[in-house]
Structure 1
């Protein structure tokens, strides 16, 4: 029987493996992925001990949810954690079905995304996600990128998720964003159990250390760290000066800092991507690191990074050099 990776639990009791499977690429993010590749990636993740899988309607206009649901159909539902997102409702769009989606996914635009954080929108979104995933409940439902929708997301959006949590349709509720400031407000002002922060708690971007993580630690809210490679700059042992950072071209000073971090890693016999994966897990508020995985090979390489032996001296040197503050130390000094 396959042994699972170590888990960390939310205050609701939901257990997440420390490494989670990000399924955006199963929705043909930037390029096509075959059904076979998607199935093999999920199989490799399961065989490697991953039990937390994250998706969203936004990913491939429902394709990611459909593929993930099919790939997990034969797995015991009570032995895995499944999260999806709400706020971008998918509605039929026959007038655009003859063209491709224009939001980064190589899929027909037979449906379109509509921002909707109303009670009805949330309920419909969850109902549709459950159908695509072939499950009766979500372990986590996140408000998806509510940056421009604070008022509705923090009221009707959260209230609807609380209602679903009380009904047992959703196990835990939260928000997922590419910023940390508003997530900290969700933690302080609403009844969220978990937040997903993308790209703002990494070796190169410690924004979440300043407000979100202390607030989450104080209130017992779990944090899932995503986009730990910062759009690719931290994904290779050798830093590529042409790699992207934060969804755009990397500034020269950021490239230089990444190269210095890579040099420190190399001196300790550690790869830069391995340090990127393990770095957020040093903070006690973090319950999982979710990375995007397209193929079985991606899964296996990510597992190697997660399992790599990293000496404490590496984190100490990065902290002392001012290259990346040690999250473990930051958590004790708040």
Structure 2
């Protein structure tokens, strides 16, 4: 599967890089190497997302060849903010709907409320279409599936396939954190519904600290999944010099070790987030979903992509990463609990 690449900052603006002016296809083969994540346009990450430069961020991404946006009905005002930008006449003229991908999610309603009923899923998709000002969605994921007993997600996922058959959705996906649960659900959908999941999004599972996603890709492909996306290569802002967000579910020990790793990168005049981003982009061959809250962060993320392709910088990074792994110790590949224990029993 080929990926369009973001254009280097020195070459902007140039729309869609290798995609040229061609419309993107329904197959997802044209997904860019980077996708703009919409979780940042939410109160969880930003105190006032309505004051973020959402239009400038989206246009800077599109101008750079990052022709895809990932969001969710669960991400507060994210869909509304994105949809309002995409509906503006100047944006519509420059970037018609068939020139970019829209990926969103359904099923998770709030922190502790989930609705995977067919009616709930249909309602959520309809609301997303309205908010995003579009008549079709390139991907809809069943969102955070580990929080519902897996067989109870099947009716809602079946509704997503029904909407796909009608052309409202072009690809059906599942998203969540625990990889064994995602693999088990992909198999369950194949065995119970006679359909195969098109795409899986897992977050915080291919990072400098946790590399479990790569070996799980084979199991997902065997279950019929064609596309596997890596979300949050900085592990929900854990891998940075600043303290993680208060909501972050990592153990205190992992947070302490990451702080020690940040001290090591500081000794080398390197920001932990920069080396962690380069590592994830260098070693992940598929598409990566990254959230940005400012134009500075967009530029920094695109630069990290191109820096990750630099073999000389890779050699320098590897020497520092060796020291980071020594500090992380047994916390390398550590995961945290997420979802229902009954799902892990189901997997077993």
TM-score by length of 1: 0.74
Is the CA contact (8 Å cut-off) linking 1:5 and 1:19 kept in structure 2?
no
How far, CA to CA, are the matches of 1:216 and 1:280 in structure 2?
Answer: 20
2:42 aligned with 1:27: yes
In 2, Cα distance between equivalents of 1:301 and 1:265: 18
Equivalent of 1:2 in 6, 14, 38: 14
Structure 2 residue corresponding to 1:206, chosen from 193, 208, 211: 211
Q: Which has the higher strand share?
A: 1
Cα distance in 2 for residues equivalent to 1:221 and 1:11: 13
How far off is 1:262 after superposition? Answer: 8.1
**What is the DSSP-based 3-state SS (H/G/I as helix, E as strand, rest coil) of the residue aligned with 2:138?**
strand
Structure 1 counterpart SS, 2:305 = helix
Superposed structure 1 runs of 4+ greater than 3 Å apart: 9-14, 217-220, 242-246, 248-267, 269-272, 278-284, 312-325
| 2:67 aligned residue (51, 54, 60) | 51
Q: Does structure 2 retain, via aligned residues, the 8 Å contact 1:5–1:18? A: no
1:253-264 matches, within 5 Å, as 255-256=256-257, 259-260=260-261, 263=264
For 1:17, what is the secondary structure of its paired residue?
Answer: coil
Pairing 1:77–2:97 present: yes
- Please state whether the residue corresponding to 1:68 is helix, strand or coil: helix
- Residue 332 of structure 1 corresponds to none
Q: Is the 8 A contact 1:130 1:137 kept in 2?
A: yes
> Unaligned stretches of 5+ in structure 2?
1-12, 190-195, 326-331, 334-348
Return the offset for 1:321.
7.8
Q: Answer yes or no: is the 8 Å Cα contact 2:262–2:271 preserved in 1.
A: no
Distance 2:33 2:125 in 1: 25
Question: How far apart, in 2, do the equivalents of 1:56 and 1:138 lie?
Answer: 12
CA displacement 1:65-100 (0-9 Å, x = unmatched):
11101212222111101011110358xxxxxxxxxx
Q: Shift in Å at residue 292 of structure 1?
A: 1.6
Residues 1:276 and 2:291 aligned together: no
Tell me how far apart the structure 1 counterparts of residues 207 and 254 of structure 2 sit (CA, whole Å): 16
Shift of 1:145: 0.8
For these two proteins, the number of residue pairs brought into alignment is 293
Check conservation: 2:199, 2:228, Cα contact below 8 A: yes
Once the two structures are superposed, the pairs formed by residues 88-167 of structure 1 within 5 Å of their partners are: 88-89=108-109, 114-149=113-148, 150-153=150-153, 155-167=154-166
Preserved contact between residue 12 and residue 193 of structure 1 (Cα < 8 Å): no
Q: Which runs of 5+ in 1 are unaligned?
A: 91-102, 104-112, 326-334
Q: Which position in structure 1 is the counterpart of 2:4? A: none
User: Is the alpha carbon distance of 1:198 and 1:10 closer, same or farther for their aligned partners in structure 2, counting shifts above 3 Å?
Assistant: farther
Give the structure with the higher percent helix: 2
SS in 2 for 1:40: helix
- 1:273–1:192 Cα change, 3 Å: same
CA deviation digits over 1:76-126, x for unaligned, max 9? 111101011110358xxxxxxxxxxxx5xxxxxxxxx85211212111111
Residue 67 of structure 1 corresponds to 81
Are the counterparts in 2 of residues 11 and 193 from structure 1 also a CA contact under 8 Å?
Answer: no
Q: Do residues 16 (structure 1) and 28 (structure 2) align? A: no
Q: Any idea what SS the aligned residue of 1:186 has?
A: helix
- Residue in 2 that maps onto 1:229: 234
Q: Distance in 2 between matches of 1:214 and 1:126?
A: 30
Q: What do the CA deviations read for 1:265-287 (whole angstroms, capped 9, x no partner)?
A: 987x9754344334444567x53
Structure 1's 234 and 137: CA in aligned 2 closer, same or farther, altered over 3 A? same
Q: Is the CA contact (8 Å cut-off) linking 2:14 and 2:63 kept in structure 1?
A: yes
* Equivalent in the alignment of 2:9: none
Kindly provide the CA deviation profile for residues 273-312 of structure 1, in whole angstroms up to 9, marking residues without a partner as x: 344334444567x532112222222222211222214425
